[in-house]
């Protein structure tokens, strides 16, 4: 009888051991969704309890006064039940530190009480005590499972709930059988067959509950895998969309850059080409009138050559700017550079009867690219000329100033025209921004681009006396004061 009963416990222990090691092996291969440590710990401790209890059955002589290993085995059964209860609780909320401490204190009290019962009470009292505690834990588990199923329906949790209900049935059945037993049980052979059947059935159902939990874990893994596949598909689609967007932006950027370069070249070449056209017309007129002297011929040809070189220089400079090549900087006297720009614009200035005032600090030397800064100065000067051309101002004036500041070199070009409308001021330096002054949208954008390439800044200020003033500044790193 004892051997047969022990074999039952060993078989169930081996079944639980196989389940545990199978789950543990799979546990190590999972990263996204791992089983609860409460459940795995409960299964491990239940397996050990079955082995200890089976070994105790083989060696027990007086079942009314069993050895201490029965206290150990029953304590392990209760610990396994507590951990399974914590697993059910963890499905709904995290386990608080207070609850963990309470369970630990409860286990210590159980050990003390059961050891007293082992030494002083009967087999019947100990069995009723164990079955009662187990039933309370089962009721708690069913409550937590019901809570979880309301929020997240699961067929495996439903199976677990049914299995736990059967465990309650067999636990309470064991109590009923003992109450109906008319004699004191002292030998294993005296245990009623129905009580053994209910005890083994309760452990079998408990093993099935562990399997149901394992199936629930597999169910969650399957759901997690499906979600991962969906998320991976969505992420892949988003990455493809991002690549498509990046390619579109790169194409758009190239298109914008190409358009801006083309527009800039056309804008900047207007003046040298216009000057060349006037010189050619002048040359044709002199030829037609027969008044072409060697001196006039040399003067016109020199002007045409200078305009041609300036046009070529503009194209080379703009190509360097848009290609974002490294700035080819040299020491440049900004006073001399302003004089060169004024000579280029002098026909326009004279024809429109504009007075020029210049105040330049001596030895205003900057470490910069001469051609690029010349484009900035020429654009700002042309804008001032155009502003005065459309102005009703009787005495037209442009004031050019250059000075050293704490941050480097500052150049300003101001006119006494009609100024710039307030609604336009915020967009002055934007590419192809609309403006009442024809041509300013591209020229000012190009000025800003060049100045920023040099690490400087450019801005606009309205004058209280009327008109507009544009200023740009080159930083100290690019400014050198001549010794």
pLDDT in tens, 229-275: 787 787 787 777 767 766 665 555 555 555 555 555 555 566 677 67
Is residue 351 located within the same domain as residue 222? no
CATH number at residue 436: 3.30.565.10
Q: How far is CA 277 from the centre of its chain?
A: 58
What's the structural domain count of the chain? Answer: 2
Work out the average pLDDT over 74-94. Answer: 91
The whole-angstrom separation of Cα 54 and Cα 14 is 12
H or E stretch covering 428: none
Say how many residues make up the chain. Answer: 483
Say what the pLDDT of residue 398 is. Answer: 94
Lowest mean pLDDT among 15-29, 77-91, 305-319: 305-319
Percent of the chain with pLDDT over 90: 22
pLDDT in tens, 7-47: 888 888 898 888 888 777 766 665 555 667 888 888 899 99
Same-domain check for residues 204 and 101: yes
pLDDT, residue 320, reads 61
Domain boundary among 210, 238, 266: 238
Give residue 433's pLDDT: 52
| Distant-in-sequence, close-in-space partners of 134: CB < 8 Å, separation ≥ 6 | 77, 78, 81, 167, 171, 202
Domain match, 230 and 332 both: no
Residue 55 has pLDDT above 70, yes or no: yes
DSSP 209: H
pLDDT for residue 438: 44
Please give the C-alpha separations between residue 57 and each of 6, 62, 117, 187, 323, in angstroms, as whole numbers: 6, 10, 18, 10, 90
Same domain? For 92 and 223 the reply is yes
Look at residue 464 and tell me if it is in a domain.
yes
C-alpha 401/C-alpha 359 separation (Å) is 5
| 116 and 8 housed in the same domain | yes
CB atoms within 10 A of CB 158: 15
pLDDT of 435 reads 46
Q: Which domain holds residue 341?
A: 327-481
């Amino acid at each position: 009888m004892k051997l047969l009963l022990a074999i039952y416990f060993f078989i169930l222990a081996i079944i639980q051991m196989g389940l545990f090691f199978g789950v543990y092996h799979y546990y190590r291969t999972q990263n996204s969704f791992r089983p609860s440590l409460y459940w795995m710990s409960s299964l491990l401790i239940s397996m050990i309890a079955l082995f200890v209890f089976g070994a105790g059955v083989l060696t027990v002589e007086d079942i009314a006064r069993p050895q201490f290993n029965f206290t150990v085995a029953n304590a392990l059964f209760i610990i396994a039940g507590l951990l399974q209860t914590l697993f059910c609780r963890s499905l709904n909320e995290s386990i608080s530190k207070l609850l963990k401490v309470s369970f630990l204190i409860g286990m210590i009290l159980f050990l003390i009480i059961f050891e007293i019962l082992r030494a002083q009470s009967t087999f019947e009292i100990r069995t009723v005590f164990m079955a009662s505690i187990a039933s309370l834990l089962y009721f708690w588990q069913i409550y937590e499972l019901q809570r979880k199923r309301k929020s997240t329906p699961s067929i495996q949790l439903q199976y677990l709930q049914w299995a736990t209900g059967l465990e309650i049935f067999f636990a309470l059945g064991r109590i009923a059988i003992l109450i109906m037993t008319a004699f004191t049980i002292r030998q294993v052979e005296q245990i009623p067959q129905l009580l053994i059947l209910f005890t083994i059935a309760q452990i079998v159902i408990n093993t099935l509950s562990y399997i149901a939990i394992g199936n629930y874990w597999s169910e969650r893994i399957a759901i997690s895998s499906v979600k991962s596949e969906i998320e991976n598909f969505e992420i892949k689609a988003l990455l493809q969309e991002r690549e498509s967007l990046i390619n579109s932006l790169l194409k758009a950027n190239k298109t914008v850059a190409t358009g801006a370069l083309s527009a800039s070249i056309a804008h900047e070449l207007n003046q040298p080409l216009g000057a060349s056209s006037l010189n050619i017309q002048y040359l044709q007129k002199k030829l037609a009138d027969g008044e072409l002297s060697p001196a006039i011929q040399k003067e016109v040809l020199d002007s045409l050559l200078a305009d041609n070189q300036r046009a070529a220089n503009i194209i080379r400079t703009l190509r360097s700017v848009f290609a974002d090549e490294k700035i080819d900087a040299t020491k440049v006297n900004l006073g001399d550079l302003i004089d060169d720009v004024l000579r280029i614009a002098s026909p326009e200035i004279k024809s429109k009867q504009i007075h020029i005032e210049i105040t330049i600090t001596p030895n205003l030397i900057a470490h910069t690219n001469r051609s690029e800064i010349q484009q900035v100065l020429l654009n700002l000067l042309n804008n001032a000329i155009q502003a005065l051309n459309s102005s009703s101002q009787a005495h037209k004036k442009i004031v050019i100033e250059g000075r050293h500041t704490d941050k480097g070199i500052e150049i300003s070009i101001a006119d006494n025209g009609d100024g710039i409308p307030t609604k336009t001021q915020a967009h002055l330096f934007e590419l192809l921004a609309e403006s009442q002054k024809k041509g300013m949208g591209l020229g000012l954008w190009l000025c800003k681009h060049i100045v920023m390439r040099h690490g400087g800044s450019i801005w606009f200020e309205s004058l209280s006396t009327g008109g507009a003033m544009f200023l740009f500044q080159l930083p100290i790193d690019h400014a050198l004061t001549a010794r």
